[in-house]
């Protein structure tokens, strides 16, 4: 990937952010009257926040309601430096909601209320054409399998068609295989959509956890062969990434942890942000994967998806820019 001026580089992150209810400390399932703290959560939103903190210009593309919670989300994203000009507001609609419940052994269980969430309508609105045409103005379009799972088949086809048009003008499509079985009607549908995303992508960020859930029993080599994209980052169960890119392959191992792991939430989301930021800044895939592991290793030392701003690593100076080129 050619490097670009980081003050001008832009990423469009597409997805859904939901209201999160997390069980307060001291409360356990089955005891009744538990207290919950409220927050917000979403995989591509987490990536957008970390991209903004890494000084990449990023917009979040989604749909929200006109309620107080949606307003609070937009304000929080703006405060983090995430662009909200592509957020469509739908009167009378609400964001989705999920609840995290923890048992006596500390095991987590998730409950979702999202079937009528505003974000699910993003590909079927009067504003959709304008939103999709805007993808051509970005250096990178980033989305995950969770993003694709919230749209119906016509909506996914519409999105893929827009991405293909944008690629003709030099936009790069980065697909993250963040797979959650509960979001799909069955695994056959998921496999079909994954194949379409692999065929359209310039960069795929994936893991054994995601792919073995869809293609059980296959080796690392077999799983990687399923993905024809020119640039592939394949994260293993241990903190190691296998890389394939034009002109070579590589293996990147995360540095040993110096602090205890507190919460693995957003490890993959932050890895994606650091990888994309490094590639936009001119780093090669090996250097970008090293940056991804560094940030992910830091994020998992703090509770929650978004770590405190003061805990972010020192900013890195980027290489001189080269103009992006259209796909041939």
Q: Which residues are catalytic?
A: 269
Query: Treating both helix axes as pointing N-terminal to C-terminal, what angle do 43-53 and 68-79 enclose, rounded to 10 degrees?
Result: 30
Geometric angle at alpha carbon 42, from 37 and 47, rounded to 5°:
120
Least Cα distance to 30 among 100, 99, 102, 98 occurs for 102
Question: Do 59 and 84 contact (CB within 8 A), yes or no?
Answer: yes
Question: Do 87 and 70 contact (CB within 8 A), yes or no?
Answer: no
> DSSP label at 123?
G
Task: Find the DSSP H helices in the chain.
Answer: 43-53, 68-79, 128-133, 145-149, 153-167, 187-200, 208-214, 220-225, 267-280, 285-299
Other beta carbons less than 10 A from residue 72's beta carbon: 14
312 CB burial (10 A radius; 0-12, 13-18, 19+):
middle
C-alpha–C-alpha distance, residues 284 and 279, integer Å: 6
Chain Cα centroid distance, residue 262:
21
Least Cα distance to 141 among 15, 231, 245, 233 occurs for 15
| Cα pseudo-dihedral 228, 179, 299, 7, rounded to 10 | 50
Least Cα distance to 324 among 168, 206, 134 occurs for 168
């Amino acid at each position: 990937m050619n490097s670009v001026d980081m003050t001008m580089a832009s990423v469009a992150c597409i997805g859904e952010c939901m209201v999160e209810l997390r069980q307060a400390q001291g409360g356990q399932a089955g005891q009744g009257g538990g207290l919950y703290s409220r927050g917000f959560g979403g995989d591509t939103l987490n990536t957008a926040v970390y991209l903004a903190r890494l000084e990449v210009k990023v917009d979040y593309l989604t749909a929200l309601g006109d309620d107080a919670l949606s307003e609070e989300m937009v304000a929080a994203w703006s405060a983090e430096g995430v662009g909200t000009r592509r957020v469509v507001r739908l009167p009378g609609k609400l964001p989705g909601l999920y609840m995290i419940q923890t048992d006596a052994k500390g095991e987590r269980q998730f409950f979702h209320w999202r079937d009528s969430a505003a974000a699910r309508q993003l590909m079927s609105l009067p504003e959709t054409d304008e939103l999709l045409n805007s993808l051509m103005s970005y250096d990178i379009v980033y989305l995950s399998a969770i993003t694709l799972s919230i749209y119906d088949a016509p909506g996914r086809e519409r999105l893929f068609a827009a991405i293909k048009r944008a690629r003709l003008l030099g936009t790069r499509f980065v697909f993250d295989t963040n797979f959650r079985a509960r979001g799909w009607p069955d695994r056959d549908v998921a496999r079909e959509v994954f194949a379409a995303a692999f065929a359209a992508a310039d960069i795929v960020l994936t893991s054994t956890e995601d792919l073995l859930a869809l293609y059980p029993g296959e080796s690392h080599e077999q799983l990687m062969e399923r993905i024809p994209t020119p640039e592939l980052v394949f994260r293993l169960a241990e903190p190691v990434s296998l890389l394939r890119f034009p002109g070579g392959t590589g293996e990147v191992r995360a540095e040993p942890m110096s602090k205890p792991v507190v919460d693995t939430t957003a490890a993959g989301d932050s890895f994606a942000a650091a990888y994309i930021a490094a590639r936009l800044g001119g780093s090669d895939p090996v250097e970008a994967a090293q940056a991804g592991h560094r940030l992910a290793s830091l994020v998992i030392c703090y509770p929650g998806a978004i770590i405190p701003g003061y805990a972010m690593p020192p900013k890195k100076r980027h290489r001189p820019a080269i103009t992006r080129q259209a796909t041939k």
